[in-house]
Chains A and B, each alone.
Chain A
Amino acid sequence: MSRLDTAQVRTVLYEGPGSLPIQPDARSRIMTALLDKGFAVTSLRGRAHVTALPRDFLLVLGRFTGNPPLLDGSVAMRFQQIDGMDAASVVEAAEKLHDGTGAVKAGTWKPWFPVIDFRRCTNCMQCLSFCLFDVYGVSAKGKIQVRNQDNCKTDCPACSRVCPEVAIMFPKYRHGPINGDQVSEDDTRREAMKVDISALLGGDVYSLLRDRSAKAKSRFSKERDDERALKERQNCLLKLQKEMDIPMEVLASLPSPDEIRAKAEQAAARGREALAAPTSAEVS
């Protein structure tokens, strides 16, 4: 099961009937502390509806003056009196509840994954063919989709660089247009990263990696110069890292050349199949 399918603990800062108001400074400190620890906070001052998944847990925080307010019982809830508690103590209460639920600890995964701008995407499937980590899939209607977000390699924006339409975003990336900033005419004209890769590598990235690896192996076997082979590989990886802004950890963890070739061929076949039969059953 993906970590994205697990329960969450959410909080509600309740200041409606039956609960005294919280001072603005204290309210801000409590909310900041909870958010920093990965807890969502719904600020309720009186009337509101709270939506949550049935698997989630809700911690309702308030300066309750009597019985807790009546809430929709579709979610597991706990009420916490916070009168006299500072922000750290409130967070402690939330974490205590969290520890008893078995929910995944917030912040253990940096949410880094591609987001497709479907106003630009032409469904060319190049991203599907490029990604080695099965992040992409195809919907039942033959449309590219991001399927396994948590398979994505943190801080690696490589697939966005092969998109000829500049349609792939990583919202946490430093620079535009990959971070979601507007796409300029220059970005479009350059067909940004697709051109970069071709120009940079003189072919596709997989071919380059295969060639480099083969050369390194050859040198190693002929000269038994592992130091030189390692340097060759490092040079190749550094070039990729620098020009494509791919973390070294990602490059260092790439599958073997044979696996890369096999994966690329499989992904390309999936893409072709989806484009040829857009209404076929979902491709996994």
Chain B
Amino acid sequence: MSTTPLHILYCHCAFARVVPADVKSGVLSRLAASSVEFEAVPDLCEMSARRDPRLAELASAESLRIAACFPRAVHGLFEAAGCCLPESARILNMRTDPAEKVAGELIAERAA
């Protein structure tokens, strides 16, 4: 195994109903059908609370793309875990945007 960092993070927000289920399933199925590697987590909030070291690794990655919720909240969650997201990190909001748009931006930019 190499040490190439992962660049895509998908949050399933499994323990709340704030992200529409069809958006979550749509994004996940599109990611799964693509050829990209990615990290899928049950709940980004929980990772932050646990200060999971994977967050620091992700924050240091180039061209990081995150499918989760509001960007202000996601920045706060990373900061609470002791690592700041770079300005270049792109956060896609599954609470407000459709699955096609979120998945399209995740995958298209990854392939670019």
Q: Spell out A's residues near B (CB within 8 Å).
A: 4-5, 8, 16, 24, 27-28, 31-32, 35-36, 38-53, 69-72, 106-107, 109-113, 115-118, 146, 149-150, 169, 171-174, 176-177, 179-183
Contact = CB atoms under 8 A, between A and B. Distances in A.
Interface string B83-95: 0000000000001
Interface in B18-64: 18, 25, 28-29, 31-33, 35-46, 48-50, 52-54, 57
A118 B54 CA distance: 22
Contacts of B76: 115-118, 169, 171, 180
Contacts of A146: 80
A92 to B, nearest CB: 17
Given A43-B37, A110-B15, A171 B45 contact: yes
The 10 A-B residue pairs whose C-beta atoms are closest, nearest first, are A180-B73, A180-B70, A111-B45, A28-B32, A24-B33, A115-B76, A171-B73, A35-B12, A111-B46, A47-B2
Query: Which of B14, B18, B25, B41 is packed against the most chain A CB atoms within 10 Å?
Result: B14
Contact of B73 (A4, A39, A106, A115): A115
Contacts of B33: 24, 27-28
B6 interface: yes
B43 A48 contact: no
A67 B6 CA distance: 25
Contact of B77 (A31, A46, A171, A183): A171
Given A27-B32, A32-B25, A172 B42 contact: no
A183 B72 CA distance: 10
A124 B77 CA distance: 20
Given A31-B28, A36-B14, A107-B14, A47 B46 contact: no
B61 to A, nearest CB: 10
Nearest to A172: B16
A239 to B, nearest CB: 26
Contacts of B41: 35, 40
Interface of A is mostly: loop
Contacts of B25: 32
Contacts of B1: 16, 44, 47-50, 69-72
A27 B79 CA distance: 32
Contact of A43 (B40, B70, B73): B40
Contacts of B6: 42, 48-49
Contacts of B4: 47-49
B74 interface: yes
B14 A38 contact: yes
A98 B52 CA distance: 18
Contacts of A72: 1
Contacts of A169: 72-73, 76
Nearest to B41: A40
A39 B18 CA distance: 19
Given A111-B48, A113-B49, 18 more contacts: A16-B1, A27-B33, A42-B39, A43-B36, A43-B39, A43-B40, A45-B37, A46-B37, A71-B1, A110-B16, A115-B76, A118-B79, A146-B80, A171-B44, A171-B70, A179-B73, A180-B69, A181-B70
Contacts of B39: 40-43
A43 B67 CA distance: 15
Nearest to A16: B1
